[in-house]
Structure 1
Amino acid sequence: MSDAYIALADGRVVEARGRVPGRTRGELVFTTAYTGYEESLTDPSYEEQVLTFSYPLIGNYGVRDERFESDRIHPRAAVAREFTDEIVEWLAEEGVPAIDHVDTRDLVTTIREEGAMRCGIAVGPDATPETAREELEACKGMSEHADIGAQVSVTEPTIHRGLAERGSAASRTESDDGGECDVALVDCGAKGSIVSSLTDRGADVHVLPYDASVADVEAVDPDVLFISNGPGDPANFEAATALVEHFVGDVPLAGICLGQQVIARALGGTTEKMAFGHRGVNQPVRDLDTGRVVMTTQNHGYTVADPGPRLDVTQVNVNDDTAEGLTNEELRVITRQYHPEANPGPHDTLDFFDDVLDLAGGRDRKRPVVASD
């Protein structure tokens, strides 16, 4: 007898085995990543979503908090063909419902054919198809990701100092040592590895709330204004958009994932929701100038439909031609739709962070040493 149910927006109810009890609701999405489950589960971009892993066994190399991208799990529930006991214990500690013994191939096919969809989940001895449907009905009444930035952003500015010595572990605490440049990072749901990718290169990273004001940025007096990744619709991040509009042309601008979308909207472009998004570690991206193709890590459900008159597309997705890189050399703007910091995924594009800091004035910086586990 099943003790877990997923009610899908297409009318089906999927039966499964419950691993962590609870009731919840959210947007059902999938990732094709075969490693990096710790990083994925702690990625703030999965806030308010139900994450389905397409790889059949999740948890086979344990759980280590040094791999976490934030201080908590963000998906509202996790679904897999099979979870190991260790990852179930972690999910239980954080109160995140977990389901396995699911035909994830069928779920992924459904999402690819019908698009990411809302779902209701009920797990536990009292779970029934009806209770899962109740969650789905409640989900239908929710406005999409209303003010979601407040759920994933810092509430007060924080500083992460750049490393004085290259090749050592990334510093994540404040110190009295000034860095080689100051980056104002607007935290719309930033991954920790974005911060460490910048501090590894000697930058002082001033992490600001998602609704930071012009005065907040001016207090930093940054060399670069950086808009982070984050969950949901970029149209909901009005404060970050206003910052870009205010500082463009005066301060170099950079963005990753949601950050690219926010910058494009601020400079006259448009964005749109994708059918099922890009979530995985093997998305091929082609550079239009060099023809080089790199493999990238991605996690987004929206994309830049039209970059507008002020931005040029420099990179595209090989699979669907969506914009993966934008630039305006005169205004000193550079963005990426994918995650150059990876975690999980390939490190083909880590030099993006060197390019970002070069916008600060071409300082003579040493390249960081990438340490292996």
Structure 2
Amino acid sequence: MPPAYVALEGGHVIEGRGRSPGTARGELVFTTAYTGYEESLTDPSYEEQILTFSYPLIGNYGVREERFESDRVHPRAVLARELTDEVADWLADEGVPAVDHLDTRDIVTDVRDGGAMQCGIAVGEHATPEDALAELERCIAMSDHTEIGAQVSVAETEIHGADNDGATVALVDCGTKGSIIESLVERDATVHVLAHDAAPADVDAIDADILFVSNGPGDPQNYRAAVSLVQEYVDELPIAGICLGQQIVSLALGGTTEKMAFGHRGVNQPVIDLETGTVVMTTQNHGYTVDDPGPRLEVSQRNVNDDTPEGLDGVDCSVLTRQYHPEANPGPEDTFDFFDDVLAMADAPRTSAALACDD
């Protein structure tokens, strides 16, 4: 196997075993998921990041395309304790550098103690520590990836469930997972997937019943067009959002967001509903969170571990958002009812604030 080097912020270089050649740079993060490596690797929310798997063996049940969340691998590189040959070959085919035979426990501890950090990778027969350090020097902060939405969004509108006769959903694609679209289509919705910088004319053209803002990578403050779109329709259409979508909706309604130390990434994040006291386990992948939801939103759910907002409801408007991924790919399946609640907003009477806006 070729040599491989991982340069961490601060200049420390770790040597591992090369499984897929190349160089890469990005924000180093980790996931605690013990299943769902195919879903994680194809999740657009990992764009411009280097993904470390905390679970020691990645690839023990193969690689199946029907589990993919998008049409490509999104992390810039992959780190693991051990990768199977099938996963390593898949990453090589995708042109994504991969390194294993690493002490991932030590890497995860570093990220937990110091926060998500910049990282450089070099893998190959002639790779050197200096190559990895050179990649590290070229790395930029996630907030500086101002056009990251364009890297993961559709270029032209796509329609899913065209023969359905339920609600018409305008889905703003900031890097949506395929299972979110599937969850809506399975409930008889017709989903128009719009570009991340869609304009009001794009929404008006489809006579949408709901405006839905997807998950995606990067700093929510860089999605100015999506923020403006929510502001345009908040008193005209029901608004929903998942993950980055929750953050964008909050920004649009006067809230604030902040970068987390190391984020939430995994399939074992506990969330409590503040009204019922029920705790559910959730799938999550985000490095930013809502700090203050703003005057028109209230926190309905919180993370049990760190108290960050996990659900927002409209105070005087039809808004429903979740920070976690209720489509639950790869699991657990505790939160599917979110999509039923979102689609029900299309049939519910609009709020008094919205009606007053029409007068």
Superposition TM-score, scaled by structure 2 size = 0.95
Distance 1:141 1:330, change over 3 A: closer
Deviation at 1:179?
Answer: 2.3
1:107 positional shift: 0.2
**1:23 corresponds to which residue?**
23
Contact 1:148 1:232 in 2 (8 A): yes
Alignment partner, residue 355 of structure 2:
none
Name the structure 1 match of 2:45: 45
Q: Which residue of 2 aligns with 1:167?
A: none
Classify the secondary structure of the residue corresponding to 2:221: helix
CA contact 1:119–1:136 (8 Å) conserved in 2? yes
SS in 1 for 2:205: helix
Residues 33-112 of structure 1 mapped to structure 2, 5 A cutoff: 33-112=33-112
Matching residue within 191, 202, 213 for 2:188: 202
Contact residue 262 and residue 287 of structure 2 kept, 8 A: yes
- The one-letter code sitting in structure 1 at the alignment partner of 2:258 is E
> CA offsets per residue over residues 116-143 of structure 1, 9 Å max, x none?
0010100011111111000000114886
Cα gap change, 1:316 to 1:355, in 2 (>3 Å): same
1:269 — aligned with what? 255
Query: Are 2:260 and 1:284 aligned?
Result: no
3-state DSSP of counterpart to 2:226: helix
Corresponding residue for 2:165?
179
Q: For 1:89 and 1:118, how far apart are their aligned partners in 2? A: 26
Q: What fraction of aligned residue pairs are identical, expressed as a percent?
A: 70
Residue 308 of structure 1: CA displacement?
A: 1.1
* C-alpha distance in structure 2 between counterparts of 1:239 and 1:140, whole Å: 23
Contact 1:283 1:298 in 2 (8 A): yes
User: In the alignment, what sits opposite 1:323?
Assistant: 309
Moved more, 29-38 or 342-351: 342-351
* Structure 2: segments with no counterpart, 5+ residues: 350-359
Aligned-residue offset at 1:149: 0.4
For residues 50-79 of structure 1, the C-alpha deviation after alignment (integer angstroms, 9 at most, x for no partner) is 000000000000000000000000000011
Alpha-carbon shift at residue 249 of structure 1 (Å): 1.1
Instruction: Give the Cα separation in 1 of the matches to 2:296 and 2:19.
Output: 50
Q: CA deviation at 1:111?
A: 0.1
Do the aligned residues in 2 keep the contact of 1:29 with 1:52 (CA within 8 Å)? yes
Residue 146 (structure 1) shift: 2.2
Pairwise CA distance, 1:345 = 1.8
Deviation per CA, 1:30-68: give whole Å up to 9, x if none.
000000000000000000000000000000000000000
**Contact (CA 8 Å) 1:2, 1:15: kept in 2 or not?**
no
Is 1:228 the counterpart of 2:210 in the alignment?
A: no
In the TM superposition, residue 330 of structure 1 has moved relative to its aligned partner by 3.4
Q: Aligned partner of 2:220: which letter? A: P
Kept after mapping to 2: 8 A contact 1:2/1:16: no
> Matched residue of 1:50: which SS?
strand
Q: 1:198, 1:12 → 2: CA distance?
A: 46
Q: Given residue 187 of structure 1, which amino acid in structure 2 is its aligned partner?
A: D
> 2: CA distance between counterparts of 1:141 and 1:300?
15
Say yes or no: does 1:148 pair with 2:148.
yes
Matched AA of 1:63: V
Q: Distance in 2 between matches of 1:328 and 1:25?
A: 39
- SS of structure 2 residue aligned to 1:139: coil
Please say if 1:138 is aligned against 2:124: no
How far apart are 1:92 and its partner, in Å?
0.7
* Residue 11 of structure 1, CA deviation: 2.1
Cα deviation, 1:180-201, whole Å, max 9, x if unaligned, reads 1100000000000000000000
The answer (yes or no) to whether the contact 2:26–2:140 under 8 Å persists in 1 is no
Matched pairs, number: 349
Contact 1:22-1:123 at 8 Å conserved across structures: yes
Secondary structure of residue in 2 paired with 1:259: helix
| Residue identity matched to 1:114 | G
Q: After superposition, what is the alpha-carbon deviation per residue over 1:81-130, rounded to whole angstroms, capped at 9, x for unaligned?
A: 00000011110110100000000000000000000001010001111111
Q: What TM-score do you get using the length of structure 1 for normalisation?
A: 0.92
Aligned-residue offset at 1:145: 1.8
From 296, 319, 328, the counterpart of 1:333: 319
Secondary structure of 2:139's counterpart equals: helix
C-alpha displacement at 1:318, in angstroms? Answer: 0.3
Inter-partner Cα distance in structure 1 for 2:94 and 2:348: 44
Match for residue 5 of structure 1?
5
